[in-house]
Amino acid sequence: MSFKRRLLTLAAGAAMVPAALVAIPAGTASAHGYVSSPASRQAQCAQNTVSCGSIKWEPQSVEGPKGLMSCNGGVGRFADLNDDSKGWKVHSLGRTTTFRWTLTARHRTSTWEYFVDGAKVASFNDGGAQPGATVTHSVNLQQSGRHKILARWNVYDTANAFYACIDANIS
């Protein structure tokens, strides 16, 4: 093969590389986490406290679009998490409680939000920081009595968030 022909072949191959790279599917975000203390509904599933289906194997995977108010984050296969009659352990909590997130894969964070029966009671702005393996927040729940708490971790650089619900008797 002549030098000119080799050069043309090499140039044609190099020109195809960018197109090939665009065609390769992008990987999914590796952000995963859940409230481990007090034990969220998915943590209770993982601990066999409540029978819940496939969430038992991946409590960190309740990921859905930002802004939802459901325990399952809109993920159909985790619908058990939305069932209030399932027999969830109700935690006795004080008005100010520390929540601990366990992160199995860290991802830059926009905000952490906490809701009691749908009303926002706290928000922590991380401004895009990457968290460690655990994150804790001290939250004034502003209520007393039996309530459902929704904790939401808003990922900084995706349209998704992670969701966890905790059943509580606040005194």
* Beta-sheet strands, E only, within the chain: 32-37, 63-65, 91-93, 96-105, 109-116, 119-125, 134-140, 145-155, 160-170
How far apart (Å, rounded) are the C-alpha atoms in residues 58 and 33? 10
Task: Assign domain 36-170 one CATH number from 1.10.645.10, 3.30.310.80, 2.70.50.50, 3.40.50.2300.
Answer: 2.70.50.50
pTM: 0.81
b/e per residue 27-47 (b: at least 16 CB within 10 A): eeeebbbbbbbbbbbbbbbbe
How far apart (Å, rounded) are the C-alpha atoms in residues 165 and 116? 10
**Would you call 49 exposed, middle or buried from its count of C-beta atoms within 10 A (0-12, 13-18, 19+)?**
middle
pLDDT in tens, the chain (171 residues): 565 555 455 555 544 444 433 333 333 334 489 999 999 999 999 999 999 989 999 999 999 999 999 999 999 999 999 999 999 999 999 999 999 999 997 889 999 999 999 999 999 999 999 988 999 999 999 999 999 999 999 999 999 999 999 999 999
Q: Sign of the C-alpha dihedral, residues 71, 33, 35, 160?
A: negative
Q: Sign of the C-alpha dihedral, residues 19, 24, 25, 29?
A: negative
Query: pLDDT of 137-164, one tens digit each?
Result: 999 999 999 999 999 999 999 999 999 9
**Residue 108 CA neighbour count, 13 Å, CB half:** 7
Share of the chain above pLDDT 70, in %: 82
Question: In this structure, are residues 62 and 75 in contact, taking their beta carbons and an 8 Å threshold?
Answer: yes
Q: Sign of the C-alpha dihedral, residues 27, 57, 133, 154?
A: positive
